[in-house]
Amino acid sequence: MKKSMSMLVGTAMLAVLLVGCQSGSETASTTEVPAEEMLVEEETVSTVEAWGEVSAQNIKEVHIDFDATVSEIYVTEGQEVKQGDKLLSLDYEEYKNSILQKEKELSLDQTTLEGQIKSSSGSSQKISNLRSKANSIQSRINNGTDTEIVALQAEITSYKSDLNMVEKDIEIQKELVAAGSATQKEVDDLEKKASDLKNKIGSAEQKVSNLKKDRQVEISDLNSEIASIQDSLSETEKSNQVAINSSSIKQEISDLEVQQMKSKYTKDYIQGNDIVLDIPQGVIKAIKVVQGSQVGGTNTCLLEILDEESLVIKANVSEEFIKGVKVGADADIIPYADREAVIKGKVKEIQNMAIDNNGETVIPVIIEAAEDSPYLRYGYSVDVEIYTEG
């Protein structure tokens, strides 16, 4: 479809013409209204026309990287789903059993280590305790389970959520101010609130950074103490300590392996044996498996899901008219499914590259609809009229 610039021009003009007629030899006369008494109003509105289709900015892929069998599929391609809906079920008992076996081996290693520690001297016992403490601190940092850091990160998440809402309110208030429906003071108050939240976020993030540094200093002090004790050990004690260290390292490796194995199915979208939707709403774009499929091992993709909250219009604007298109401009969206429907929208993004479309150079423009419509579904075609200043 050829893209073109359409111009709608409305002109209103008021003129008064008085004509007097005289009989016989009298001549006709015309009284003209002075130019300053004529009212002329002219207003120009321009639009750029484009063709586009509904696209999703976010497509969620559901992956697993452990061995399993697809036991049941509950959805079909094109089906709309909501958060918590079951998508499919997996059978991975064999994988769980391998974890259980690893945990038993870990328990045995722990028993062996405890026996070695009991038979060692008091110095070796103290070294082992210090190393265990240092490893525990490091593990809490690596796994994100340090209570103080976790509490601060929860505060940061809460502040960021509040800031996001305030920033949206600021944009709304600015539009209301421009329309004369709100005062600048309301915007200023919201901007001060946003500034306070940013300061709180910065302060909390600095505290997290300081805590992590403090933990590393604590670990360094413990390692220094261990080194000092080791220097004073006898040869026999050193030999015993080598055996204890070896067992301790083996245990740490086994513990990490168990944690990694469990983390593979500790996901928001895995509940027991079920794969569930973990976004507010979506549409099943593709199902990559069938019932009975053996999956896993290489980060298998099970499903592709369109995030319905990320649907936008991707329109192609002819290169010769892109100059008039601005981010934030109003647009009318006319779906092919119902030419009578006109859905309001705004230009969200102008992409920084051109593409070839059937021999014509076009620039993709992202348009966000201001309302939902049954005719704005993924892949639907639309015409778009983007308003420009002119």
Average per-residue pLDDT for the chain: 82
Return the percentage of the chain with pLDDT > 90, whole number.
48
Q: Which two tokens stand for residue 48?
A: 């750029």
- Higher per-residue confidence, 180 vs 71: 71
With cut-offs at 50, 70 and 90, classify the pLDDT of residue 14: very low
**CB-facing half-sphere around the CA of 59: CA atoms within 13 A:** 9
CA distance 315 to 317: 6
CA distance 390 to 385: 15
Q: What is the mean pLDDT of residues 269-284?
A: 93
Residue 240 has what pLDDT? 65
**pLDDT surpasses 80 at 247:** no
**pLDDT surpasses 70 at 195:** yes
Q: How many CB atoms are closer than 10 A to CB 52? A: 22
In this predicted model, what pLDDT tens digit does every residue of 121-130 receive, in sequence order? Answer: 567 778 878 8
**pTM for the model:** 0.53
Q: How many CB atoms are closer than 10 A to CB 53? A: 14
Q: What is the mean pLDDT of residues 260-278?
A: 90
Residue 31 has what pLDDT? 47
Q: What is the mean pLDDT of residues 62-84?
A: 93
Burial (CB < 10 A; 0-12, 13-18, 19+), residue 219, is middle
